[in-house]
Amino acid sequence: MSSEASEQETFTRICLLGTGSFGNVLKVKSSKTNEVVAVKVFNRTTTKRESAMREFKTMRRLTHVNVVSALKFYEGKDKFYLLMELCEHNSLKELMTVRLTFTDTEAKFFMRDVLNGLIYLHAEGVVHRDVKLANLLLDLHLNVKSPSSSGTQNVV
């Protein structure tokens, strides 16, 4: 991400976290605050401004320990940038590849977080349409977080 995203703040790309039909999700570091965050990069050629802004506004209003938070939205010449909280431990899918199995206690812990996040999203009129291990992220404290922007639909 370059200075085209914002005149006040630039970001240094650390690594690619994932890809999708929308574009890429990157791990970046702010030159202004040194904060490390995730950024979802949309191409203007494939994403309308209204869609990207709607996703940001939906994420911004959702505040729950089991839902990824939106931080900022920037518009560049060719791209839109949605800055989000970074989930340092990637996804449940990646953890499953390393661990292969979970104890009953661990499974209950993770399932409780998944259900709490989904219940919250539904209560807020948001339906997650792509629940899978790869879309269930883990923060620094191993809380499971649903990226509210991944395959969601507002129903209210």
The Cα 70–Cα 149 span in angstroms is 9
CA distances to 64, 96, 106 from 102, in Å: 25, 8, 6
Count CB neighbours of 33 within 10 A. Answer: 9
| CA 107 vs CA 92, 121, 136, 144: distances in Å | 11, 21, 13, 11
Q: Which is catalytic among the residues 78, 113, 130, 139? A: 130
CA angle centred on 14, ends 42 and 12, rounded to 5°: 75
130 is catalytic: yes
Q: Are 144 and 66 in contact (CB under 8 A)?
A: yes
DSSP state at residue 105: H
- Residue numbers annotated as active site: 130
